[in-house]
Amino acid sequence: MNRIVEITIIVLIAIVAGAIVYSVSPPDWPVQGTYTAEVFLHGKSVGVLEFNLSDKHIVKNFSTGNNEVLQVALRSPGGVYVGKPLVFNVCLYRDNELVELSIKDVSLTIKTPDNHLYKYIPTSKTDKCVEISVQPYIHAREAGFIFGSAIVLFASASIIHYIITGLYVTLALVLVGVQPASTAYQYYMAPLIMVFIAGSAMELVIREKGLDVRVARLLSRIARGPYTLILGISFLGSFLSMWMSNTAATYVMLPLAAALLAGIRDKAPRISSIAMVSLAMGASIGGTATLIGTPPNLIAAEFLNKFAYGYYAIGFYRWLLIGLPAWIIGFTIGVLLAFLYAKITASGELGIVKDYLKGIREKGEAKPWSRAEIIALTELLILVGLWITEPLHGIKTGIAAGIGILLFFATGILNPKEHWKKLAWDLMVLFGAGLTLGSGLMKSGWANYLLSQLHSVGSLGWAGFYIIGFTAYFIGTFISSHTSASAFIAPLTIPLGMTMAASLGLNPATGAALATVVAVVSLNNAIALPISTPPSAIVYASGKANIKDLMIYGFLFGIVANAIIIAVLLHYWATIL
């Protein structure tokens, strides 16, 4: 199909998607007229608070019986403004003593002067009281149109580059009045974006100084049989993917793996294919372990820091607590499934591979370490050390990233003229645009509206997180790349998580973080098709991986790994988020 025709079709679909979201988004709140807020305690109405948007502060007490009084205090910006919500502070007193309220105890509905009714749940907990933050709807329909169209465009990143979509999102939000022009690009250099730039610098250092080759040479020493071959290829690919992009990690490992398998490809084609598929698995899930391992991790962390926690909450160290256990479980499952799959489908090839590998030995002696290699390794360890020990010294992840980049260029390990332009600056647009879109959805009230419409989701309880995880997994498998998908999934998982948190008695920020982490980890497990993730595309395009093996093993791995990771880690994540 002609490229112009493809682009035209995608743009038309994006417009239709935007129009659909626009049509179901809420109208702007009237500036004039009386609003009615009905307050509910334990599901029962306790009273009504009437207010105008011009009212800046109202306090009203409601008697609930048993010597209990529910106090509702409204703080308002005095009108309808983008990014300036109404805040309802709700406290319960018994015999004049403050009684602790749970998130799930309270809710309220607001009826607008034009008779639209919306339901809201607490968005935060302060001391023993709860707060319900309500952003009046202003340009929410326009923000909805931009979001709906952006989903289609981000999902079509292979045809319309995400830089184009990112700039469209940012400029459109400014033009419709959701994002002020003075702050249009404020998220393009958020602290955690600097972390990914540092990660791309690390990738350059590792590749330019030959450290990747030293790691890869270990494979010929590890591989002594078919199972250790699969383990070695997948583990080294996974380890490299923690510190460089999964694309680069796959490209690094592919030639060595191919060389090892060249002598047995004709005699043991199935084992060769499974080993290559295991490389795609290892490289993809390896990115889960660290904050810099894959762009979705950084996008999720920055979304949560900005729009759920409201402060710097998730950095390299905290993500390590999130991602490393998920990697351990997922990688173990992936390797065991690869062993089982090889045993079932290629049992006749196991002996052939073992005999062949007995004769393989590393050719030549390893080169002595050069001065440049030693300096490069030292600087890499300094940067990683700063990230891991953040709780001890207090240097934030983004600042540590800047220190690392400075070291690389100041010591000559990287050349500014040659390497500065090779850093992953294009992803800055994706990150910045994604955060700008999330900000627009929050400031316009669209995300608040979604929260009000999804209150019934809370009845799903913990099962809701499984639904979120598998939905993200199937999106990452069939519809969009992991990176592009995370840009439009995060704005949805935050309000979804807050809704489920209310029914589970969790802090709303914790619920938002849980839903987002589950979605991102699930995305990283999507490897079943060449379009799912670059490692799958690379090994398939090499001609050394059978599409049947990629699909069968990939689907089996994704479903089993998702189910077990969520089941084992969900409650653990709830304690650290």
For the chain, give every domain's residue range: 37-136, 192-427+503-576
How far is the C-alpha of 424 from the C-alpha of 356, rounded, in Å? 41
**∠ CA(52), CA(57), CA(60), 5° rounding?**
90
Q: Is the pLDDT of residue 208 over 70?
A: yes
Per-residue pLDDT at 423:
87
Please tell me the least confidently modeled range out of 51-60, 306-315, 460-469. 306-315
Q: Is the pLDDT of residue 27 over 50?
A: yes
- The stretch 521-527 carries a mean pLDDT of 91
Tens-digit pLDDT profile for residues 174-189: 999 999 888 888 888 8
Per-residue pLDDT at 366:
61
Per-residue pLDDT at 515:
93
Tens-digit pLDDT profile for residues 535-557: 888 888 788 888 899 999 999 99
Percent of the chain's residues with pLDDT above 90: 40
Per-residue pLDDT at 248:
75
Q: Is the pLDDT of residue 334 over 90?
A: yes
Q: pLDDT grade, residue 11 (50/70/90)?
A: very high
Longest dimension (CA), the chain: 86
Angle formed by the axes of helices 316-345 and 371-388, nearest 10°? 110
Q: Which long-range contacts (CB under 8 A, 24 or more apart) does 23-26 make?
A: 24/144, 25/140, 25/141, 25/143, 25/144, 25/145, 25/446, 25/449, 26/116, 26/118, 26/137, 26/140, 26/141, 26/445, 26/446, 26/449
- The stretch 54-63 carries a mean pLDDT of 92
Q: Where are the alpha helices (DSSP H) in 305-396?
A: 316-345, 350-358, 371-388, 390-393
Q: Residue holding tokens 């999804």?
A: 454
- Which residues are bridge partners to 557 per DSSP? none
Tens-digit pLDDT profile for residues 264-291: 777 888 888 999 999 999 999 999 999 8
- The stretch 8-13 carries a mean pLDDT of 94
Q: Is the pLDDT of residue 360 over 70?
A: no
Q: pLDDT grade, residue 494 (50/70/90)?
A: confident
Per-residue pLDDT at 364:
46
DSSP for 497-526, written as a single string: HHHHHHHHT--HHHHHHHHHHHHHHHHHT-
Q: CB under 8 Å to 308, separation ≥6 — which residues?
A: 494, 497, 498, 508, 509, 512, 513, 516
- The stretch 336-347 carries a mean pLDDT of 91
Per-residue pLDDT at 22:
96
Between residues 385 and 172, which one has the greater pLDDT? 172
Tens-digit pLDDT profile for residues 76-128: 998 888 888 999 999 999 988 999 998 888 989 999 999 999 988 888 887 88
Q: pLDDT grade, residue 341 (50/70/90)?
A: very high
The letter for the amino acid at 131 is: E
Please tell me the least confidently modeled range out of 9-13, 126-130, 211-215. 211-215
Average pLDDT taken over every residue of the chain = 87
Q: How many CA atoms lie within 13 A of 358 on its CB side?
A: 6
